[in-house]
Structure 1
Amino acid sequence: MDTTVVERELELRLVLAPDHSVPIPARLTYLVDDPYAVHITFHIDSGHPVDWTFARGLLVEGVFRPCGQGDVRVWPSKSGARSVVLMALSSPDGEALLEAPTAQVSAWLEQTLLAVPPGTEADRLGLDDGLAELLAR
């Protein structure tokens, strides 16, 4: 299995009110052997990082237009003169609205798309090889 990892550290903003947000250090991670998912780790003051995993396609689409429903929604916006991507995350433990710089998210996503082009994700899972091996028995 290919263990290529595409990572990027960046500072997100946790939006607490329309005119108030706080910085949240985060890491975006993409694993070639988990090709449909993106992982975001938030380093908050609790001492335990908070991890979220959702579809890479959701984040790719959310850079350009509102998408998602339920636990994860993503959409483009502006914060002053800056282009940002907003991510609304919801869980039984609470909800969060996060703001990420579009340029940094887009550059990282581009690297993930070069590592595993859209439409080739299933090839990375080795399902055909595994199925062939099972059927050969």
Structure 2
Amino acid sequence: MHPTTVEVEASLQLVAPDSVTLPVRSSLRYDPTDPYAVHVLFHPDGGSGDPVGWSFARDLLVSGLNEATGIGDVRVWPWSTPHGEVVALALSSPDGNALFEVPRAILVRFLRRTFAAVPTGEESRYLDVDAAVGRLLGPTPRPE
């Protein structure tokens, strides 16, 4: 039996430059066929359109629960706010930067479920290396 995908709906808080926070409908996703990564999907208002996704190492989130971690495009650190304990998630791209607050309790529950699906050290058992190599070496789509 293969483990199932773990997905948790969450309202992340976008921290605006004036320190005001705005709720953003999001979900945290873990697919055992991509066992080293977690995905954050940001859902546009009204549910129309495709979600915008970020993927990064599951271990980065785990480390970020207790200490500042990450460099470059994704950084994570614990953060206390007047509303409780959160984890800061800073995302950077050529299009801009965004800082989000993720409720720590939601993140801990999500990570526990991912480790129940694929325990630490067992990730390689869930990789389909042949399929990954096939995608890398397969035909490249031609531009239209």
**What residue identity is the alignment partner of 2:117?**
A
- Whether the 8 Å contact between 2:39 and 2:55 is mirrored in structure 1 is yes
**What residue identity is the alignment partner of 1:74?**
V
- Whether the 8 Å contact between 1:2 and 1:33 is mirrored in structure 2 is no
Q: Which residue pairs with 2:33 in the alignment?
A: 33
- Whether the 8 Å contact between 2:12 and 2:101 is mirrored in structure 1 is yes
Local SS of the residue matching 2:70 = strand
Local SS of the residue matching 1:17 = coil
**What residue identity is the alignment partner of 2:4?**
T
Local SS of the residue matching 2:2 = coil
Q: What is the aligned counterpart of 2:84 among 82, 85, 100?
A: 82
Q: Which residue pairs with 2:100 in the alignment?
A: 98
- Whether the 8 Å contact between 1:7 and 1:29 is mirrored in structure 2 is yes
Residues 52-131 of structure 1 mapped to structure 2, 5 A cutoff: 52-127=54-129
Once the two structures are overlaid, the 10-residue window that deviates more, 18-27 or 29-38, is: 18-27
- The Cα RMSD (Å) is 1.8
Q: Which portions of structure 1, spanning 4 or more consecutive aligned residues, are displaced by more than 4 angstroms?
A: none
Shift of 1:17: 2.9
Shift of 1:68: 0.3
**What residue identity is the alignment partner of 1:107?**
R
Give TM-score, length-normalised by structure 2: 0.82
Shift of 1:18: 5.3
Cα distance in structure 2, aligned partners of 1:126 and 1:40? 22
Cα distance in structure 2, aligned partners of 1:89 and 1:126? 29
Cα distance in structure 2, aligned partners of 1:18 and 1:120? 43
Cα distance in structure 1, aligned partners of 2:6 and 2:79? 25
Shift of 1:50: 1.2
Give TM-score, length-normalised by structure 1: 0.86
Percent identical = 47
Total equivalences in the alignment: 128
Q: Which residue pairs with 2:134 in the alignment?
A: none
**What residue identity is the alignment partner of 1:23?**
P
What are the ranges of 5 or more consecutive residues in structure 2 without an aligned counterpart? 131-144
Shift of 1:31: 0.4
Shift of 1:125: 1.0
